[in-house]
Amino acid sequence: MLALAWGVRRQPLVQGDKHPVRIARFSIDGNVAFGAVEGEKQDELVLDIIKGIPFADFELSGTRVPVSKVRLLPPVLPSKVIAFGRNYAEHARELGNEVPDAPFAFFKPSTSVIGPGDEIQYPSFSQEVHHEAELAVVIGRMCREVPRERVKDVIFGYTCANDITARDVQKREKQWARAKGFDTSCPLGPWVETDIDLAAAGDLTVQLTVNGAQRQLGRTSEMIHSIEDLVVNISEAMTLLPGDVILTGTPAGVGPSASATRSPSPSKASALSPTRLSSVASASGTPPHVLDRARTGGAPTRPFLPVAHR
């Protein structure tokens, strides 16, 4: 794997530009903040605390804390998570479904989002909970009716996701709200990669391991509908806000994330590029877990992206 030096510009940015960094959200000593992840070796990673919020122009404070000393939270708190189903042909076939002609969208509520390392709460109404590793797109500005050529301008970055699914409930209920929207069903993280361009994002490795054993392995180039297709499709219908997340579908290999006895079974979903590896690891289990949902405050200031004719 290539070593990569992460550079940060501290001066104000021009409109539409962004910092080429990994952006994490974390808590330490009861405080919540965003930080730029610096370093390459896992045991040497540090966070340079961001002054402000990452969706607007920001500066780095110069105050650094080791990643090992903080609790990593979900990198964003989306107003909504839009997920696209059956976007990999092999995955559709493994569940006996037809490949859709058009993007097939559903929602996961903001209360489903948890961070890396947080426990997945098994729902009492399901006996068959599956993992689904996915590349997640993070929106960076308010937008609607985004033309294909402007998709790259509304994307803040990319992170890893696990679309935890109550498969037995999904099979017996026509609506997927309970099967895919229960609390803790959307692990995200550990941070947002902001310097992956759209072309590179279209050919990343997506993989998932459970207890170190590989369960899923695919490439985003295998998606039926591209990232551009998905952003165009959903923004035709609704306004996307900074921090909103789009799940792009999962490759084949989905299956139970733990044993029938629901014993803890750590799973890790990853999105891999030639120069970096990001992953979200979660432990499947039943003990209750309280999420820290403190917000950093302040409204995103990036401008509304006008539609093509404006």
For residue 5, the domain's CATH number is 2.30.30.370
**What pLDDT score was predicted for residue 280?**
65
Specify if 302 maps to a domain: no
**What pLDDT score was predicted for residue 92?**
74
Among 73, 97, 132, the domain-final residue is 73
Q: Are residues 110 and 237 both part of a single domain?
A: yes
Among 73, 101, 128, the domain-final residue is 73
Q: Are residues 99 and 207 both part of a single domain?
A: yes
Specify if 298 maps to a domain: no
Q: Are residues 173 and 262 both part of a single domain?
A: yes
Specify if 259 maps to a domain: yes
Specify if 307 maps to a domain: no
CA distances from residue 9 to 14, 173, 199, 207 in whole angstroms, order as listed: 11, 50, 23, 32
The predicted model scores a pTM of 0.82
Q: Are residues 120 and 267 both part of a single domain?
A: yes
Helix (H), strand (E), coil (C) string for the chain = CCCCCCCCCCCCCCCCCCCCCEEEEEEECCEEEEEEEECCCHHHCEEEEEECCCCCCCEEEEEEEEHHHCEECCCCCCCCEEEEECCEHHHHHHCCCCCCCCCEEEEECHHHEECCCCEEECCCCCCCEEECEEEEEEECCCECCCCHHHHHHHEEEEEEEECCEEHHHHHHCCCCHHHHHCCCCEEEEEEEECCCCHHHHCCCEEEEEECCEEEEEEEHHHECCCHHHHHHHHHCCCCECCCCEEECCCCCCCEECCCCCCCCEEEEEEEEECCEEEEEEEEEECCCCCCCCCCCCCCCCCCCECCCCC
Q: Are residues 161 and 183 both part of a single domain?
A: yes
Specify if 202 maps to a domain: yes
SS3 (DSSP) at 127 = coil
Q: Are residues 53 and 199 both part of a single domain?
A: no
Among 73, 97, 129, the domain-final residue is 73
Q: Are residues 63 and 212 both part of a single domain?
A: no
**What pLDDT score was predicted for residue 213?**
87
228: enclosing H helix or E strand: helix 227-235
For residue 272, the domain's CATH number is 3.90.850.10
Q: Are residues 106 and 235 both part of a single domain?
A: yes
For residue 50, what are the contacts with CB-CB under 8 A and spacing of at least 6?
23, 33, 34, 35, 36, 58, 59, 60, 61
**Number of independent structural domains in the chain:** 2
SS3 (DSSP) at 310 = coil
**What pLDDT score was predicted for residue 59?**
92
Q: Are residues 120 and 194 both part of a single domain?
A: yes
Specify if 17 maps to a domain: yes
Q: Which domain holds residue 67?
A: 1-73
Specify if 310 maps to a domain: no
Q: Are residues 91 and 152 both part of a single domain?
A: yes
Q: Are residues 168 and 235 both part of a single domain?
A: yes
* Tens of pLDDT, residue by residue, the chain (310 residues): 222 222 223 333 334 444 558 999 999 999 999 999 999 888 899 999 999 899 988 899 999 999 999 999 999 999 999 999 999 988 878 878 788 889 999 999 999 999 998 999 999 999 999 999 999 999 999 999 999 999 999 999 999 999 999 999 999 998 999 999 999 999 999 999 999 999 999 999 999 988 888 899 999 999 999 999 999 999 999 999 999 999 999 999 988 875 433 444 566 666 554 334 356 666 554 332 222 222 223 333 333 333 332 2
Q: Are residues 166 and 98 both part of a single domain?
A: yes
Specify if 291 maps to a domain: no
Pick from 150, 86, 99, 131: nearest CA to 253: 131
